[in-house]
Structure 1
Amino acid sequence: MLNNIGGSTIAEAKERLTHHEVLGWIAYREKYGTLDRNRRLERHFAMLTHLTSRVAGGKSELKDYMIYSQQAVAVISLEQAVEAWS
């Protein structure tokens, strides 16, 4: 499981976490963002770089410094997925 929340496997998490706790983690993620340390670290460095750029008179946006968050996610239709998995 991500960051060992509820256990080290999905089965352990289903066994140990209550519905109320799951809702709490969902609310936390909606408020504070991802639990992925790498993405959070990327965002912090991007914010620092963006602030430095703006102080120096730059016109860049925060997303310009978030390389991994910009990677395109391939979206396929249900039919294409079924065909690929068959």
Structure 2
Amino acid sequence: MTQDNVRRFYEQFETNLELRKLLYAAEGAEGREAALREAGFHFTNEEFDSMVDVLHVKCQTHEEAERFFEFRNWWNFLRGN
């Protein structure tokens, strides 16, 4: 399920530095999609957007919510939103 890929991607956001480097170096949306697909995290922008509330609701503390919003804002920056 590709929405589950969004969750897994979020869980590895801080620790998977190699994937982050690939995403920074990717050229455009197609490059980002290819990097995500290669790493086993393929999802669409719509699937990411549909998971934002789901992941936010699961935050148990203010710190977890801040970490989540950092991730969301980072991804939105990369995809040009």
Fold conserved (TM > 0.5)? no
Higher helix share: 2
The structure whose RCO (Cα within 8 Å, separation 6+) is larger is 2
Q: TM-score, normalised by structure 2?
A: 0.24
Please tell me whether Structure 1 or Structure 2 has the larger radius of gyration of its CA atoms.
1
